[in-house]
Amino acid sequence: MDTSAITIRPVTTADTEKITEIYNHYILNTTATFETAPVSTAEMEQRIATISATNPYIVAEKQHKLLGFAFVHQWKQRQAYNITAETTIYLSPDRLRSGIGTTLLTELIRQCREKTHYRTLIACITADNNASCKFHEKHGFVRASLFRQVGSKFGTLLDITDYQLIL
């Protein structure tokens, strides 16, 4: 896909329904998220408002159609962790491997470097999600940890791996 026609912009409340639709696809069909029950639009609107109030939260769109979203939030709540953020990126399922993820992550990293106090980004990935692991490595993230059997979804025990990028 030609990503030159893609617009990256801050999230708005008008994006809530499409973001909810995209995210619920991953809840119901993949292990990319450890949530197991669909999220309501009202719940998603609250999450968007909370995160975007203090952190970069961006969307990718083409011809006014939302194709994906990305954001960061503080990695852990203890005060000393306040220099570390966790990244999140989800794309419309029909837009995987289209370059949109790269466009979103590149902009998210830029905003974190230029507009936030964060020094480190963490991507928490289900360990068997090879595409996401390779994607993050391609963008400078380095594998920092592996936690075995920390989740269970669809009757399968799941490992997670953290990838880290020092800004």
Q: Give the integer Cα–Cα distance in Å for 2 and 136.
A: 21
Closest to 112 measured CA to CA, from 144, 129, 88:
88
Q: Give the integer Cα–Cα distance in Å for 86 and 105.
A: 12
Q: Kindly calculate the radius of gyration of the chain based on its CA atoms and give it in whole angstroms.
A: 15
What is residue 6's three-state secondary structure? coil
For 106-128, what is the mean pLDDT?
Answer: 97
pLDDT exceeds cutoff 60 at 1? no
CATH code of the domain covering residue 26: 3.40.630.30
Question: Which stretch of DSSP H or E encloses residue 142?
Answer: strand 142-153
34-72 per-position pLDDT tens digit: 999 999 999 999 999 999 999 999 999 999 899 999 999
| Domain tally, the chain | 1
Q: Give the integer Cα–Cα distance in Å for 93 and 70.
A: 14
Q: Is 19 exposed, middle or buried (0-12, 13-18, 19+ CB in 10 A)?
A: buried
Q: Which of 1-5, 74-78, 104-108, 159-163 has the lowest mean pLDDT?
A: 1-5
For 133-148, what is the mean pLDDT?
Answer: 98
Task: Look up the domain containing 66 and give its range.
Answer: 3-166
**What's the start-to-end Cα distance of the chain, in Å?**
28
pLDDT exceeds cutoff 80 at 96? no
103-112 per-position pLDDT tens digit: 999 999 999 9
